[in-house]
Chain A
């Protein structure tokens, strides 16, 4: 493996090679910036399909959708940044193929760009709902700023939004729609919202909170199709025969990693591009970071796919450190957040090996946390609602694997400092 440029770089860093990053999202944009921070002197080319320089996606369903953030504040860096840092930004540019032997990527235009190190930061695509009417105008998804612009334009006082999928994107969009004076109904296949990503207590809390804010729910509901008039969506047909009228529909039923380029390049894929703890794929010289990866989760002895900004940043740090010959960054505890109305949700860890849940605080006060413990009373994950101390202490405990006393954990008179001590 002496021909692996990554390993060679770790020993005697040659910072002058050509790096091509495919995907100009949060992961790709951060990797380019970090490579310069860490001293890379060679050419860096950042290629993105979208017309925009790297920007933050989380606000698209939150502050941006409500009109509280503009394009400038979405941008990760100012427009002048890329020229100042000698990062060649190729926007509105698709990549058609990768030639691993020749170390080239081929653009849609046919142009070839040579690389010594290739970083795939290609992200994920919204999962499609394969039902009749899905092609109607007004049946939207939410991944890009362009998607968000369409949704924003369709919302306003009196408009009716139908959200298909009670996940985070859908619930955040419903909250933003209410803030804009629109009606919102959330249609969920499972018996509860957030079924795949949160515990029952949290699902119940969010459904109640949204209901108080005027959102309606259809759970255990199948979507048969969309109906429309003059090519535009006007309703969602449910499995029980009812049709719910709407002016716009948002399909938020998860995302699928972009794997096709990686497969062309010969990289192993398994529900994402398989990478190691330094973001290396199975092909020498090719790395992958962000939503598109199937990555090790060292805290849990597992691998998984994490769709989050912290994950994108962690892997951007991993690959930049490896290429620049820096020590590998310490593994981070996975974490996520969501804002809905005045509710701040923060989650740390993943409850893979949890056997019990401990509730701390009072859901009726909209301030509580659910701790997931394993058989040895070690915190596997914490879900915190307006409870930053519980989140921060929980994140620490997930990382250091110290056992906790459940009776102290559920007792609000015992501070989180003491619980975590």
Chain B
């Protein structure tokens, strides 16, 4: 289990306990976190689970794959710390991971 902190664009903060092996997107959807649409259910096919990874965690979450980078290239309001949360796997090392949500996924 790892604690994941989601911060909505409005500033509202949600702390959830996520099972190891789930994706960060799944942890959000299962806890009804607003602002993660995840239209494709985690197939890296839609870019509607876009998050900004808190700077302190960028090393631990690793780098996006070429596929994910191509998807992110055309998502809205992309920053250098943008990731698709369906591509980040929850692990003990990510206990305390903080991600911020964009204003909109579409």
Q: Which residues of B contact A337 (CB under 8 A)?
A: 40, 43, 45-46
Shortest CB distance B34–A (Å): 5
Query: Given A58-B41, A77-B32, A392 and B47 touching (CB < 8 A)?
Result: yes
Instruction: Considering the complex, give the chain A residue whose CB is closest to the CB of B71.
Output: A388
Q: A405 on the interface (CB 8 Å rule)?
A: no
Q: Which residues of B contact A37 (CB under 8 A)?
A: 32, 34
Give the complex CA separation of A69 and B41 in angstroms: 12
Q: How extensive is the interface on chain A, given as a class?
A: 20 to 34
Give the complex CA separation of A89 and B74 in angstroms: 38
User: Of residues 395 to 411 in A, which have CB atoms within 8 Å of B's CB atoms?
Assistant: 395-396
Give the complex CA separation of A337 and B43 in angstroms: 9
B39:A309 contact, CB within 8 angstroms: yes
Q: B106 on the interface (CB 8 Å rule)?
A: yes
A389:B29 contact, CB within 8 angstroms: no
Q: A158 on the interface (CB 8 Å rule)?
A: no
B32:A81 contact, CB within 8 angstroms: yes
B40:A33 contact, CB within 8 angstroms: no
Q: Which residues of A contact B106 (CB under 8 A)?
A: 329-330, 332
Q: B103 on the interface (CB 8 Å rule)?
A: no
Main secondary structure on B side of the interface with A: loop
Give the complex CA separation of A31 and B26 in angstroms: 18
User: Of residues 80 to 106 in B, which have CB atoms within 8 Å of A's CB atoms?
Assistant: 106
User: Of residues 350 to 393 in A, which have CB atoms within 8 Å of B's CB atoms?
Assistant: 388-389, 392-393
Give the complex CA separation of A33 and B36 in angstroms: 12
Instruction: Considering the complex, give the chain B residue whose CB is closest to the CB of A36.
Output: B32
Give the complex CA separation of A393 and B75 in angstroms: 9
Give the complex CA separation of A309 and B40 in angstroms: 7
Q: B56 on the interface (CB 8 Å rule)?
A: no
Q: A18 on the interface (CB 8 Å rule)?
A: no
Q: Which residues of A contact B30 (CB under 8 A)?
A: 77-78, 81
Q: A59 on the interface (CB 8 Å rule)?
A: yes
B41:A59 contact, CB within 8 angstroms: yes
Query: Given A36-B32, A37-B32, A392 and B41 touching (CB < 8 A)?
Result: no
B39:A313 contact, CB within 8 angstroms: yes
**Which residues of B are at the interface with A, using a C-beta cutoff of 8 A?**
26, 29-30, 32, 34, 37, 39-41, 43-47, 67, 70-71, 73-75, 106
**8 nearest CB pairs, A to B:** A392-B74, A388-B70, A337-B45, A389-B70, A310-B39, A37-B34, A388-B71, A56-B41
Q: List 8 A-B contacts (CB under 8 A).
A: A58-B43, A76-B29, A77-B30, A78-B30, A85-B32, A344-B43, A389-B74, A392-B74
